[in-house]
Chain A
Amino acid sequence: MEEIANLFHGFAVVIQPFNLLLMVVGILLGVIIGVLPGLGGANGIAILLPLTFGMSPTSAIIMLSCIYWGALFGGAITSVLFNIPGEPWSVATTFDGHPMAQQGRAGEALTAAFTSSFVGALFAVIMITLVAPLVAKFALQFGPAEKFAVFFLAFCSFIGMGKEPPFKTIASMMIGFALAAVGLDSVTGQLRLTFGFTEMLNGFDFLIAVIGLFGIGEILLTMEEGLSFKGKAAVINPRVVWQTWKELPRYWMTSLRSCIIGCWMGISPAGATPASFMSYGIAKRTSKRGDNFGKGEIEGVVAPETAAHAAGTAALLPMLSLGVPGSPTAAVLLGGLLIWGLQPGPLLFVEQKDFVWGLIASMYLGNIVGLIIVLTCVPLFAAILRIPFSIIAPIILVMCAIGAYTVHNSAFDVVLMLVFGVIGYVLKKCNYPLAPMVLAIVLGDKAEEAFRQSLLGSGGSLGIFFSNGLVGSIMVLGLIALFWPVIQNAWTRMRLATAA
């Protein structure tokens, strides 16, 4: 039970007054980020990352992860009250959350959403506490070939499981890898793809890409849609909370199922958004009141919120134990680790116990603090959303610029951010997924290094990736994920053929 002792040690780190303060600040900032259009978990954290440069890594990760929990909570507020999903993963929450608000049951819907988020996150954190150390211990034996196989699996899942056309996902991902390759080659020390531009010596920082693609791109999309916010008022009082809480245990089955869906989708890099849709869809099919879904059914809020939060939290498991982030936001956190001088991956559990267990403990506490804050401050956050976009937009632009500048104290990065922003806008409109691009920029160097080291070991033969049971099975899993749509198709056709 070494893990339990470590976890309690982590709690001791987290409940220092300074860290508790950072936690509250992080949650508040996070909810604001989640509520505002144009700012999401990933780019919100990327912008605020420079604030943590002066802190100890443990304090920094506590604040940043709390921003993430806050953003997850915040998405629900806009979905329910304004019918505008602040985050893609809260789209499914609008289906039943907003009708409830229209019927004057906003308080009930929000309480259900926040509580389900909390339950989903708690489930995922418990899973992380139990599973992550084991995965890390196992992964310590990985050689370069196994490491590459894990990257391969992660990226193949994007292609096969994503809802975008697979060749668009491939193009977007490979561009990310190519951007990561620019600059100094970490293996040979040679410069490449810089074409003589000194600005490109250090390559493209993924934080700039995240801020541009997600932040600026999102603002341009919002401008185009010409959003005007027409929201419902929200009243949450202890009586509403209590009554909703009394009702919620009835949906324990939906909740448990959503937790499992969320954890599964979060670990494989499918992410929170498909998890929330899948969970909503299954709940609709299995619920006795399934026909009422979409008209303001509380179960229709519970299902997607639980799954989204479970997935968002579970995405940190591969980031912590393998160094492979499960979502763009987890990727930004991973980038943070690198900046603070920590090496993400299984060794973290051995060398940086304070950090890892501090983070895990802060997941428990942060979600409790988050639940309390969102339940008590909803009117305040809703008021933020009523600020007109013509005021919010330039402020977000300025925040993005400051965030981009402070990464390397470079004015060129600010220009680059705008370029990424325009590209992000066009790509998003053309249905190219941006998450694989960002993940490829983050992981490009590591994936390439693992690939080249494996080839070096084998003298150039690709057989190394199938040379033992472990690496072979990870690669086969990757190939299955890659060709999943084809396999699924063939399977359905075969079943139809046997039935006929």
Chain B
Amino acid sequence: MTDTTSHGGTGPSHRGVEIGVAVAMIAFGAVVIVGSLQVGIGWGPEGPKSGFFPFYLGVTIILASVLNLVAAATESSQKVFADWSQLTSVVSVVIPTTIYVFAVPWTGIYLSSLILIALFMRWLGRYSIAMCAAVSISVVMVTYLMFEKWFLVPLPKGPIEDWLPL
């Protein structure tokens, strides 16, 4: 569904993002080439060296991305990538999730998940505190039972779980 973003609102141009992606890929290709050169791209006693295959991957990535870059740069469309209000909703998911993934090692997965679900519902859904608490607590409980009890897969725990008599 890439062609549905011409809502008429303002936002970063699709062309600009395409160019950015192509440039990032060229950079990635360059990193791959550098890494391959470090381990050797030639022919060793055991056949092609470790960098042989990745080296050509890097070269292909750069070649393909240059062509994509040219295609994007010569495109005349005025399409926006997404308008600012849409990007705001995307960012409003990315930021709490970023905090969440970095919090998991410290708080364990249960507490941080509980907070993520509750805050998400409160902010984006404007539910009552009781509703947020009910949903987030029951999801965490079901997760606990399903993983730790039924399927015997341990999940990361933090100080709270150590303190609870589980």
Q: Which A residues fall within an 8 A CB radius of B? A: 50-51, 53-54, 165, 167-168, 170-171, 174-175, 177-178, 181, 185, 187-188, 190-195, 216, 219-221, 223-226, 388, 390-391, 393-395, 397-398, 401-402, 405-406, 409, 411, 414-415, 417-418, 421-422, 425-432, 448, 451-453, 455-456, 460
Contact = CB atoms under 8 A, between A and B. Distances in A.
B32 to A, nearest CB: 5
Interface in B45-68: 46-54, 57-58, 60-61, 64-65, 67-68
Contacts of A409: 154, 156
Given A170-B60, A401-B109, 17 more contacts: A167-B67, A167-B68, A168-B64, A171-B25, A175-B25, A175-B28, A178-B57, A187-B47, A220-B90, A220-B93, A224-B90, A391-B121, A394-B120, A397-B100, A398-B109, A401-B100, A425-B90
A481 to B, nearest CB: 17
A414 B17 contact: no
A188 B116 contact: no
A219 B48 CA distance: 42
Nearest to B102: A415
A427 B120 CA distance: 26
A183 to B, nearest CB: 11
A395 B139 contact: yes
A225 B2 CA distance: 11
B50 A431 contact: no
B117 interface: yes
A397 B50 contact: no
Contacts of A187: 46-47, 50
B73 interface: no
16 contacts: A51-B151, A54-B153, A170-B60, A171-B61, A174-B61, A187-B50, A192-B39, A220-B93, A390-B124, A405-B109, A405-B156, A409-B154, A414-B101, A422-B94, A451-B53, A455-B47
Nearest to B49: A188
A188 to B, nearest CB: 5
Contact of B104 (A170, A216, A405): A405
Interface string B124-166: 1101000000010001000100110001111110000000000
Main secondary structure of the interface of A (DSSP, over half): helix
Contacts of B121: 390-391, 394
B155 A405 contact: yes
B51 A170 contact: no
B102 to A, nearest CB: 7
Interface of B: 1-2, 4-5, 14, 17-18, 21, 25, 28-29, 32, 35-36, 38-39, 43-44, 46-54, 57-58, 60-61, 64-65, 67-68, 71, 81-82, 86-87, 89-90, 92-94, 97-98, 100-102, 104-105, 109, 113, 116-117, 120-121, 124-125, 127, 135, 139, 143, 146-147, 151-156
B20 to A, nearest CB: 9
A397 B155 contact: no
A426 B102 contact: no
A460 to B, nearest CB: 6
B101 A415 contact: yes
Contact of A193 (B54, B90, B125): B54
Contact of B93 (A51, A171, A388, A393): A393
A390 B120 contact: yes
Contact of A190 (B50, B82, B86, B156): B50
B104 A224 contact: no
B148 to A, nearest CB: 11
Contacts of A429: 2, 5, 17, 81-82
A187 B17 CA distance: 38
Nearest to B51: A192
